[in-house]
Amino acid sequence: MIPGAADPARPAAGRFAAGRLAQYNDRMATPIDPQSPAALARGREKYGPVAALLREMYGVPEWRPHLSPLDELVSTILSQSTSDTNRDKAFDALKARFPSWEAVRDAPLDDVIAAIRPAGLANQKAPRIQEVLQRITAERGELNIDFLADLPLEDARRWLTSLNGIGPKTAAIILLFGFGRPAFPVDTHVHRLSRRIGLIGPKVSAEKAHAIMEQIVPPEDYLVFHLNLIWHGRQVCHARNPKCSLCPLQDYCDDFQARLPRAARTVEP
Ligand code: SF4
């Protein structure tokens, strides 16, 4: 049994108070703006117990060794539509084949494609990497993005998303993992779990979820909560056939509660 998995005998302490159910019914009866105070309050209310239960299960997860911001940028481009293992293989191959990012920028395209083949979509990712490296050089006079550490967060995010192939998720990963700045990345696992649990509304897009999650989760917990949601998505809450019987989040999960008979629900989705 997964540590921290739901215990049917667990007392209702920590569950949503009964009186809240009626409030949620009222609030959720009609569609509401996902960034309205009511929707954000509901997300924040769920965040506390959900984060605590995930920490109980997974602790503070280990992240791969810290990369420099520019390394993180290239690594996130490689990570698109592939596994962490293949991303890392391609990244290591790139570093082994070229002595510097300047050399990657100036290399024949085919050489870069060959080096990053393990990441898949090499024909798309290689020109994207070279284009980004060229743009940084043209704009900054050198291959360095450390200036983003000193920009206001939204300016840094805007600059990153102005690069071809860098969307809100990739920008948030670079800001959080490369610079330790308070940006919350929403990948496919985080998006799926956030909607199922009800941290965000069921129709909120991944793109819009970034801003909402940043208002729900305290900044000091962005990294751990992001990684624990991903871990839970990989281990338990799969896209198909989530293992709900092993999941300690049942009491807080809109998707699970909606599948229970009304009388058995602890929270109304
Ligand atoms: S859908 Fe199931 S596995 Fe996923 S969070 Fe809800 S209860 Fe857990």
Average confidence (pLDDT) over 131-157: 95
Q: How confident is the model at residue 64 (pLDDT cuts 50, 70, 90)?
A: low
Q: Does residue 14 carry a pLDDT above 70?
A: no
Q: Domain 18-59+185-264: give its CATH code.
A: 1.10.1670.10
Alpha carbon distance 58, 56 (integer Å): 6
Mutation test of ligand 1: which of 196, 200, 234, 257 has the most ligand atoms closer than 8 Å to its C-beta? 196
Using the mean position of ligand 1's atoms as its centre, give its distance from the Cα of residue 198 in Å: 11
Alpha carbon distance 43, 199 (integer Å): 4
Average pLDDT, the chain: 86
Using the mean position of ligand 1's atoms as its centre, give its distance from the Cα of residue 29 in Å: 22
Q: Does residue 65 carry a pLDDT above 90?
A: no
pLDDT of residue 106: 97
Q: Domain 69-179: give its CATH code.
A: 1.10.340.30
pLDDT of residue 262: 76
Q: Does residue 4 carry a pLDDT above 50?
A: no
Using the mean position of ligand 1's atoms as its centre, give its distance from the Cα of residue 116 in Å: 36
Q: Does residue 44 carry a pLDDT above 60?
A: yes
Domain ranges within the chain, ordered by starting residue:
18-59+185-264, 69-179
pLDDT of residue 37: 85
Using the mean position of ligand 1's atoms as its centre, give its distance from the Cα of residue 242 in Å: 6
Residues with a known catalytic role: 169
Residue 153 Cα distances to 181, 184, 186, 226, angstroms:
8, 12, 17, 19
Closest-CA residue to 197 (of 230, 234, 237): 237
pTM for this predicted structure: 0.81
What is the percentage of the chain residues whose pLDDT exceeds 70? 86
Do 69-179 and 18-59+185-264 have the same topology in CATH? no
Which residues, including other chains, have CB under 8 Å from residue 265's CB and lie 6 or more apart? 21, 257
Query: Which residue has a Cα nearest atom 4 of ligand 1?
Result: 237
- pLDDT, tens only, 203-234: 999 999 999 999 999 999 999 999 999 999 99
- pLDDT, tens only, 164-197: 889 999 999 999 998 999 999 999 999 999 999 9
Residues with CB under 6 A from ligand 1: 193, 196-197, 236-237, 242-244, 247, 249-250, 253, 255-256
Query: Which residue has a Cα nearest atom 2 of ligand 1?
Result: 244
